[in-house]
């Protein structure tokens, strides 16, 4: 089993909304594959609320956590290392990805 947790907390949560599956099928199928290998996917409950989603709107393999920032802090206390991606420019507006 892999000890990897992916914490999703911003505009990227739209990729895991069931209604957007066809739009993001390749990415979602890849995440589900990794989930089956033991990778955990957490979605920030605060972001979920901000985008007007409910837990039922999300793919079944994700776990909703109350806050991404609290989740990240807790995971680091458990010994997980924080690895952050570097994105330098927003290329799509929020409405286009929803």
| pLDDT for 88 beyond 70 | no
> Whole-prediction pTM value?
0.84
Main-chain dihedrals φ then ψ at residue 7, nearest 5 degrees: -105, 120
**What is the reported pLDDT for 89?**
65
| pLDDT for 87 beyond 80 | no
Host domain of residue 61: 5-97
Residue ranges in 1-98 assigned as alpha helix (H): 25-36, 45-50, 68-77, 94-97
How far apart, in whole angstroms, are the C-alpha atoms of residue 67 and residue 21?
24
Identify the band that residue 90 occupies on the pLDDT scale cut at 50, 70 and 90. low
The Cβ of residue 47 has, within 10 Å, a number of other Cβ atoms equal to 19
Domain count across the chain? 1
24-35 residue pLDDT tens: 999 999 999 999
Can you tell me the mean pLDDT for 81-87?
Answer: 83
CATH of residue 33: 3.40.1260.10
The tokens of 30 are what?
A: 């890849």
Q: What SS3 class is residue 91?
A: coil
């Amino acid at each position: 089993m892999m000890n990897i947790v992916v914490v999703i907390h911003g505009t990227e949560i739209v990729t895991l909304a069931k209604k957007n599956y066809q739009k993001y099928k390749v990415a979602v199928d890849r995440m589900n594959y990794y989930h089956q290998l033991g990778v955990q996917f957490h979605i920030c409950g605060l972001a979920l609320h901000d985008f007007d989603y409910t837990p039922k709107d999300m793919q079944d393999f994700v776990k909703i956590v109350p806050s991404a920032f609290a989740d990240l802090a807790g995971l680091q206390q458990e010994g997980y290392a924080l690895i952050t991606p570097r994105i330098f420019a927003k290329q799509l507006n929020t409405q286009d990805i929803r």
